[in-house]
Amino acid sequence: MSKVTIRDIRAILTAPAGINLIVVKVETSEPGLYGLGCATFAYREKLVAAMVEDYLKPLLVGRDVANIEDLWHLMNNNSYWRNGPVTNNAISGVDMALWDIKGKMANMPVYDLLGGKSRQGVAVYRHADGKDLDTIVENVQKYMDQNIRHVRIQWGGYGGQAGSINRPEGSPQGVYYCPDQYIRNTLRLFEYVRGKLGDEVELLHDVHERIPPIDAIRLAKDLEPYRLFFLEDPLPPEQADWLKILRQQTSTPIAIGELFNNPKEWDYLIANKLIDFIRVHISQIGGITPARKLAIFCEQFGIRTAWHGPGDVSPVGHAANIHLDLVSHNFGIQEWAGISEELHEVFPGSPVLKDGYVYANDKPGLGIDINEELAAKYPCETKVTMWTQTRLPDGTAYTP
């Protein structure tokens, strides 16, 4: 085959599950040969699409699809200012698509291109929530009955289920919560679930950056008797210096990273062993190329991967997660929000969950396709994001 070049790049916006998704399609000079990548930044989807089609497409059309490493650095450096979520997600869409193309050209799955499987299936964790403790226990038990042994438990969502909150007059609208109530209820939650279900299930929890650093340290210490698999995002990236103090105070494993964009946000945490799991949103850091390097870097320091896998990752992004999970020796766990029937129809070849493990198919590339005609039936909706408008009881805006 002669040199294959990039012929066209398009952003496909779709929302089959009611969440905005952005998928990039890279078409080549070889008829019928194309690749797909995830560029999902669900709350700024139009900006990512414009970045892909107005800036990356003119930069890349006509270039050799084989040179993924060079093209990644070209995309990263071309805007001069770099490491932002819009730019990184756009780069990710192209990068994943190029890996998809390379696998198709080699007639190999991406996991084989990256060195082959370290495991046959990928263990996942699911989310269990509820308005009361008994409902949460029932939801955890349902997953245990499916042979899932890792479950993240929350009581009333991020920030907890607050009782009555006395807000000052004239306070703006928002999602109000009380950090003190949240901390107390979280300890009650773990005591109750462990008491009902014992030690046969690995329990996780997401603080989602909702409490001050000193309270995060206290919570991590108080949770030690319940033997968490990990405590997620006890601190925001802006307060990451506190992780050194937290590490000195508690043995509760720490997972962090879904908001990371810039390598300087994680390199010192890893090199100083201040976290136990890296859980970046792969498209947020620029795709498979930097994520593979990050996994290898973490391996040198005994830190495991736990890539971000919520509903605002497209099935193409989930497939990229799974291919990396299969390869990485230091794989820890994979977050799995599930793929709905509608998503499976729009994205044939999506990874599947069976008996507690997620499996990729053995097709070349990422093994996943998109039905563009069906995707068009689920348009994205651009609106003001509400869940991130979090506020303390006195009305102060706080990290979501």
Q: Which domains does the chain have, with CATH numbers?
A: 113-363 (3.20.20.120)
pLDDT at 332: 98
Tokens representing residue 211 in the block: 């409490």
d(CA 345, CA 2): 34
Residue whose C-alpha is closest to residue 315's, from 6, 22, 4: 22
Could you say which of 111, 158, 177, 182 is catalytic? Answer: 158
Could you say which of 127, 150, 205, 208 is catalytic? Answer: 208
Q: Where are the alpha helices (DSSP H) in the chain?
A: 45-50, 57-60, 68-78, 85-106, 110-113, 133-145, 179-197, 213-222, 243-249, 267-271, 282-285, 288-299, 315-327, 341-346, 372-375
Q: Are 333 and 123 in contact (CB under 8 A)?
A: yes
Low-confidence ranges of the chain (pLDDT < 70): 1
Q: Are 85 and 41 in contact (CB under 8 A)?
A: yes
In this structure, the chain runs to a length of 400
pLDDT at 2: 82
Catalytic annotation present for 73: no
Residue whose C-alpha is closest to residue 326's, from 359, 356, 290, 300: 359
Contacts with 110 (C-beta within 8 Å, 6 or more apart), sequence order: 99, 100, 102, 103, 288, 320, 323, 365, 366
**pLDDT exceeding 70 applies to what percent of the chain?**
100
Tokens representing residue 171 in the block: 């306070």
Catalytic annotation present for 208: yes
Residue 82 Rama label (left phi>0; alpha psi -120 to 50; beta): beta
**Amino acid symbol at 137:** V
Q: Where are the alpha helices (DSSP H) in 123-249?
A: 133-145, 179-197, 213-222, 243-249
